[in-house]
Amino acid sequence: MDELIERLADKAGLEKAVAGKSVGIILGFLRNEGPQEPVQALIDTIPGAEAAIESANESRGGLSRLMGSSLMGGGVMAMGARLMGLGLGMADIQKLAHELFHIGREKIGPDRMKTIIAETPGLRQFT
């Protein structure tokens, strides 16, 4: 996970701590909203991914949990709000997602990554 976070931080121009939290948020979103088999395959290829997802879920405070579930309907809007809450702008999120999806293509192949992007509601805007 450290190598992944360092690579993402470098490519997206983010602090390592922010990149690490972002990975957990994005992978958690994919697990909840994306196609189960290819998303789980991606998660399984990233050492520490489960811990990052769990950490991202635990760090959701009362207001962000409320925003993520009822006010914003969950999904891509809630993910975007959580990432923006870390200080990321739309350009940062797009750079981060682009690099994470590039890594995903390396890990699980372009066809599975294409499936994840195509079958996850709202994800195309970040690619």
127, part of any domain: no
| Residue 99 and residue 89 in contact, taking contact as beta carbons nearer than 8 Å | no
Domain count, the chain: 1
pLDDT tens for 3-54 read 999 999 998 899 999 999 999 999 999 999 999 999 999 999 999 999 999 9
9, part of any domain: yes
Q: Is the pTM of this model over 0.95?
A: no
User: What percent of the residues of the chain are helix, what percent strand, and what percent coil, each to the nearest 5?
Assistant: 80, 0, 20
Query: Which CATH number goes with the domain that contains 31?
Result: 1.10.490
pLDDT tens for 56-115 read 988 765 444 444 444 445 799 999 999 999 999 999 999 999 999 999 999 999 999 999
73, part of any domain: yes
Full domain range(s) for residue 58: 2-120
pLDDT tens for 33-46 read 999 999 999 999 99
